[in-house]
Amino acid sequence: MSSFESWTISFIILNTRLVKRGRLSASHLFLQAGQQIDRRWCYTAIMPHFRRDALEKVGRWDPFNVTEDADLGMRLWRSGYRTAMITRPTLEDAPSRFADWLPQRTRWFKGWMQTWIVHTREPLRLLRNMDARAFLITQLLLTGTVVSALLYPLVLVNAAFLSAWLLIDPPEQIYMGLIAWLDWLMILSSYIAVMTLGWIATDRDARGAIGWRLLLVPAYWLIQSVAAWRAVYHLFTCPFEWEKTPHGPHERP
């Protein structure tokens, strides 16, 4: 349920040096935050270890959900199980080619949509299984990640319109100018916030290799939107198709 995928530095798919650690370090930061919010927090991606009796009790893996870790994490959470993080890292290379990256992100978005549909088809029952805070977190993570990716092109259109308006034909009314500048600054601050989180989430010895490439966040969000819309199409045309992601052995820096 990697809803803070925007944190990852794996967006720099044009340079394989930069995708070695970004995704994992960002996931680590996300997991730490989740654990502080609720010890029942279940995020099963990367390298999970289960007690078999717990896995059997919640129904094992869903063979039809293409992001099965998100669905299993939800079922474990709803059943009241707790999780903990081990201190040793898991070394896995993120996709370094766009041809590999796009199917993977498409599958993730499609799986998150499947998970939301399955678990929110009875919202009152879901609310009873979780507390109000957990229910809100679920809605923000699953729906927020998908909807924000789908609507991102509108943000770019809005930013372009505001830039042209303010620079070419600025509004005469002061309050209109202030509103336009505030809107534009909110868009800019979202980029700065994500770049800052990505920098914090990246290992110190990897930051030097990233450098100016953090400025590619807007471009990364755009291709995230491509993957999200592709996932919507696949949800209706091939909902259970699993696009495998090739993973080579981890290369230590």
Question: Tens digits of per-residue pLDDT, 135-176?
Answer: 887 788 788 889 999 999 998 888 888 888 887 878 777 877
Exposed (0-12), middle (13-18) or buried (19+): which is 59, by Cβ within 10 Å? exposed
CA distances from 248 to 132, 144, 146, 189, 233 (A): 41, 31, 28, 36, 29
pLDDT score at 154:
92
pLDDT at site 151: 93
Contact 66, 240 (CB under 8 A): yes
* Backbone CA torsion sign across 185, 5, 144, 38: negative
Query: Which residue type, as a one-letter code, is found at position 73?
Result: G
Q: Which residues of 204-220 are buried (b: 16+ CB within 10 A; e: fewer)?
A: eebeebbeebbebbeeb
pLDDT (tens digit per residue) in 192-214: 887 887 777 777 777 777 777 77
Rounded mean pLDDT, 214-233 = 90
pLDDT for position 8 = 34
Can you give the pTM of this predicted structure?
0.77
List, for residues 44-100, the tens digit of each pLDDT value: 455 677 788 888 888 888 888 888 888 888 888 888 877 776 666 666 667 778 888
* Phi-psi sector, 94: left (phi>0), alpha (psi -120 to 50), beta: beta
| Alpha-carbon span 93 to 96, nearest angstrom | 8
**Residue 13: phi, psi to the nearest 5?**
-75, -5
| Residue given tokens 């729906």 in the structure block | 143
